[in-house]
Amino acid sequence: MTIFNVRIPGLPMTVVQADGLNVQPVETDELQIGVAETYDVIIHPHEDKAYTLMAESIDRSGYARATFAPRMGMMAAVPPLRERPTLTMRDMAMAGHGGHGADHSDSHEPAAMTQSMKNGHDGHGGNPDAHNGHDMSAMQTKTDAPALQSHEHKNGIGVTGLAETPSDRLSEPGLGLENQPHRVLTYADLSALDMNPDMRDPERELELHLTGNMERYMWSFDGKKFSEVEEPIVFHEGERLRLTLVNDTMMSHPIHLHGMFFDVVKQAHHDHKKARKHTIVVKPGEKLSVDVTADAVGDWAFHCHLLYHMMAGMMQVVSVMPRAHNEHQEMDHGGHDSHMESAS
């Protein structure tokens, strides 16, 4: 339940698969990996020495490490934990706000955030994030902040903020890895090795907001926790749709869809080698899109893979509704995978 920064100092990694599917090999020095994501990397150690595989938690509160070595008993230096990351205006989707111009306004934290951090520091409240490597209270904070615009009257107690100006952050490394002296993998670096199985443009777009109230430890999609949701999200069998996710919260959420892979949309125009994944980390204040082919009839879990966020309500059901039999036959124009067959 921790997002990790993974690196092997002195040894580049060539990423060849993401979430179990081939990508065009891309060399990097570090990558951030969200809960449920997988990366397959190839390393080529040439020297007769040991290397440290370093997995540092996103909030830099701890790490796990392993050793690669040609012989038993060897060990490499373990790098010290780096400085705790600081949230920026961009993380709060408030670029341009704050009255100090633009990019360097990273000293502004919203009041709600500051309050919840205080709670964390006092050790009250039982915030599960504080025990799972996502201790927001550990992140540096200052208090000269404009309050986040409250949308409670509109969206209920479960939503303390909306991303005012969500941005495209696919070409940014994960939270806290912005200014490293080495290469860091971004989603924009990933392309599928082969052509996507479905190259159709999406027929429709569905926008979902990742929402929360950190003070009350409420997490949800579109301001409704799972227990309050009455209808599933409906996909229609065979359709190609674009799912757009907007993160209104100040945390990274690894969003996971069961049953179907999605194609990560890097640019609006046609790209038939989109990286295919089942989990994508949506950064604070980020807006991103994935294209999905609804080829698996049935009900599927769709949720944040930080399970304590899922349990708190950041979960919904995606129902892929079957088409009528005749309609389906006409639709079945070859090239579909076995899901389509078994659904008939």
Which residues lie near Cu ion (CB under 5 A)?
A: 253, 304, 306, 309
Question: For residues 285 and 245, what is the distance between their CA atoms, to the nearest angstrom?
Answer: 10
For residues 274 and 309, which CB has a smaller minimum distance to Cu ion in the complex? 309
**Residue located via tokens 């008993």:** 73
Q: How far is the CB of 71 from Cu ion (least distance, A)?
A: 42
Tell me if residue 110 falls in helix, strand or coil. coil
For residues 275 and 306, which CB has a smaller minimum distance to Cu ion in the complex? 306
Q: How far is the CB of 43 from Cu ion (least distance, A)?
A: 31
CA-to-CA separations, 208 to 47, 154, 223, 238, 245, in angstroms, rounded: 49, 16, 10, 21, 5
Question: For residues 149 and 151, what is the distance between their CA atoms, to the nearest angstrom?
Answer: 6
Tell me if residue 80 falls in helix, strand or coil. coil
Q: How far is the CB of 304 from Cu ion (least distance, A)?
A: 3
For residues 253 and 323, which CB has a smaller minimum distance to Cu ion in the complex? 253
Q: How far is the CB of 119 from Cu ion (least distance, A)?
A: 18
* Residue 87 burial (10 A CB sphere; 0-12, 13-18, 19+): buried
Question: For residues 67 and 284, what is the distance between their CA atoms, to the nearest angstrom?
Answer: 33
For residues 276 and 309, which CB has a smaller minimum distance to Cu ion in the complex? 309
Please say whether the beta carbons of 264 and 168 come within 8 A: no
Question: For residues 286 and 188, what is the distance between their CA atoms, to the nearest angstrom?
Answer: 14
Tell me if residue 64 falls in helix, strand or coil. strand
Tell me if residue 205 falls in helix, strand or coil. strand
Please say whether the beta carbons of 146 and 110 come within 8 A: yes
Q: How far is the CB of 31 from Cu ion (least distance, A)?
A: 19
CA-to-CA separations, 179 to 58, 175, 224, 246, 271, in angstroms, rounded: 14, 10, 36, 24, 29
For residues 8 and 304, which CB has a smaller minimum distance to Cu ion in the complex? 304
Q: How far is the CB of 253 from Cu ion (least distance, A)?
A: 3
Q: How far is the CB of 123 from Cu ion (least distance, A)?
A: 22
For residues 219 and 261, which CB has a smaller minimum distance to Cu ion in the complex? 219
In degrees and rounded to multiples of 5, residue 204 shows phi and psi of: -150, 165
For residues 251 and 320, which CB has a smaller minimum distance to Cu ion in the complex? 251
Q: How far is the CB of 281 from Cu ion (least distance, A)?
A: 10
Give ∠ CA 282-283-288 in degrees, rounded to 5. Answer: 50
CA-to-CA separations, 4 to 32, 60, 185, 254, in angstroms, rounded: 6, 9, 13, 12
For residues 108 and 134, which CB has a smaller minimum distance to Cu ion in the complex? 134
Q: How far is the CB of 36 from Cu ion (least distance, A)?
A: 11
For residues 253 and 277, which CB has a smaller minimum distance to Cu ion in the complex? 253
